[in-house]
């Protein structure tokens, strides 16, 4: 089948084969007419010529079969999909043995697409967005000791860089606009893109570790292991900068801006998550929450069946377990168990996170989607954490964003 994929690599090849077939048909027709009308041709010559004609006609038939078959293979066989080879991009350019389907800017990574979420390969910021060139309009001393000044910016460009504090105190509305400054075609990460990432990292052994971020490389769901959920223990009590070295996965979680190897201290926490193509993300979970572009009304979001909101586990075996597939009018989400049935028993204890709902019967009030958790919420941080409690116009010190393209 790969040979047919190669034949049908572009639409122009189909045109080429069709043209070739037409030429063969013309030549064969002329030769047949000549053989029939030339009375001086010997029987043996007629036989050889007729044989040649038959061969040409056979080639013609083969060409007509190959062209549409190759085109069909190109459009229906996943092995022919050029996006099936995802890039191994560790911050710009392509690396590894696979040919990347796309090339991302520096400090962005390739995310393999997932048909379950109607996504093809896309780029996402490796780090939570930072503000470059903006003016600090106001600043809030969160801890009262100067350890973390939560800035509100006027202007500036969204950039992906390991240094500086995340761009927080920003509403979903403004995050949509700010994401567009990150580059041509850039946009705030969508719900489908977030879930594409979340389901990918869920299945990678590199992300299943001890609680202190050590001893990673375990089968998903292994007893006693958790899906790494980032800086979430309020120590240090502010969001952290990232390391430029992906191997320093617990960077800053004991002492800010100092690397402590995962497991070298009981309080280390793993801040990196690895995708199936080897790409590494920093602080997708923990550190700060992330807006996505999703919205829903309070009357349409999950409730406990008795008209109350609150916190819900993804663990299907708990009393507050969410259904495998939930659809609440404008809100749709997919439980981790959809793509990995074993995840039906996973929840907060495995590091997946929690869903918080501010449900109100019949309310038209709109909430924006906040993902991932932040530096003080502990086990409520997780790749599937979803907060449905805040209006798109609200801005908060633990809330940031990242862009995709």
H helices of 166-276, in order, are: 172-179, 191-202
**Average pLDDT of 67-88?**
40
Q: What is the pLDDT of residue 47?
A: 45
Q: What percent of the chain lies above the pLDDT cut of 70?
A: 69
Q: Quickly state the pLDDT bin for 234 (edges 50, 70, 90).
A: very high
pLDDT at 213 over 50: yes
3-state DSSP call for residue 12? Answer: helix
pLDDT at 53 over 90: no
Q: What is the pLDDT of residue 40?
A: 52
Cα separation of 284 and 170, whole Å? 17
Question: Structural domain boundaries of the chain?
Answer: 2-80, 85-405
User: Which positions ≥6 away from 120 have C-beta within 8 Å?
Assistant: 83, 101, 113
Please answer whether residues 384 and 196 qualify as being in contact, where contact means their C-beta atoms are separated by less than 8 angstroms: no
Q: What is the pLDDT of residue 347?
A: 85
| 367 preceded by a cis bond (ω within 30 of 0) | no
Give the model confidence (pLDDT) of 24-46 as tens digits. Answer: 555 655 555 555 555 554 444 44
**Average pLDDT of 371-390?**
93
Q: What is the pLDDT of residue 3?
A: 32
pLDDT at 56 over 80: no
Lowest mean per-residue pLDDT among 17-31, 35-49, 82-96: 82-96
Please answer whether residues 230 and 398 qualify as being in contact, where contact means their C-beta atoms are separated by less than 8 angstroms: no
pLDDT at 86 over 50: no
Q: Nearest-CA neighbor of 127 among 270, 242, 293, 285?
A: 242
Q: β-strand 272-274 against 399-400: which pairing, if any?
A: unpaired
**Average pLDDT of 6-14?**
39
Residue 363's CB is within 10 A of a number of other CB atoms, namely: 14
Pair of tokens at residue 135: 């003016």
Average pLDDT, the chain: 79
Cα separation of 373 and 318, whole Å? 21
């Amino acid at each position: 089948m790969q040979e047919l994929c190669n034949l049908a690599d572009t639409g122009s090849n189909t045109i080429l084969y069709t043209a070739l077939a037409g030429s063969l048909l013309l030549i064969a027709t002329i030769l047949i007419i000549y053989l029939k009308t030339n009375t001086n041709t010997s029987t043996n010559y007629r036989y050889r010529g007729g044989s040649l004609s038959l061969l040409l006609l056979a080639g013609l038939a083969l060409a007509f079969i190959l062209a549409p078959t190759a085109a069909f293979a190109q459009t229906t066989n996943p092995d022919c999909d050029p996006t099936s080879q995802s890039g191994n991009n560790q911050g710009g350019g392509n690396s590894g043995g696979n040919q990347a389907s796309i090339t991302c800017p520096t400090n962005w990574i390739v995310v393999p697409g997932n048909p379950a979420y109607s996504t093809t390969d896309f780029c996402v910021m490796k780090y939570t967005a930072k503000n470059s060139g903006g003016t600090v309009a106001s600043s809030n001393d969160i801890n009262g000791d100067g350890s973390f000044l939560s800035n509100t910016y006027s202007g500036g460009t969204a950039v992906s860089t390991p240094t500086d504090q995340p761009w927080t105190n920003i509403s979903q509305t403004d995050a949509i606009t700010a994401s567009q400054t990150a580059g041509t075609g850039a946009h705030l990460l969508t719900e489908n893109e977030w879930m594409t990432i979340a389901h990918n990292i869920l299945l990678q052994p590199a992300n299943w570790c001890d609680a202190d971020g050590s001893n990673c490389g375990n089968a998903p769901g292994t007893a006693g292991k958790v899906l790494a959920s980032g800086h979430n223990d309020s120590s240090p009590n502010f969001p952290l900068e990232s390391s430029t070295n992906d191997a320093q996965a617990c960077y800053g979680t004991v002492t800010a801006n100092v690397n402590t190897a995962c497991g070298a201290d009981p309080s280390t926490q793993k801040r990196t998550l690895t995708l199936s193509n080897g790409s590494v993300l920093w602080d997708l979970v923990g550190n700060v929450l992330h807006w996505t572009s999703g919205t829903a009304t309070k009357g349409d979001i999950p409730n406990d069946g008795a008209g109350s909101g609150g916190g819900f586990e993804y663990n299907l075996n708990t009393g507050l377990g969410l259904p495998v597939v939930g659809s609440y009018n404008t809100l749709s989400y997919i439980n981790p168990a959809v793509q990995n049935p074993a995840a039906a028993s996973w929840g907060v204890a495995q590091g997946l996170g929690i869903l918080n709902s501010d449900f109100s019967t019949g309310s038209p009030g709109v909430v924006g989607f906040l993902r991932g958790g932040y530096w003080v919420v502990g086990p409520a941080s997780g790749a599937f954490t979803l907060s449905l409690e805040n209006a798109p116009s609200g801005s908060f010190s633990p809330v940031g964003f990242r862009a995709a393209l």
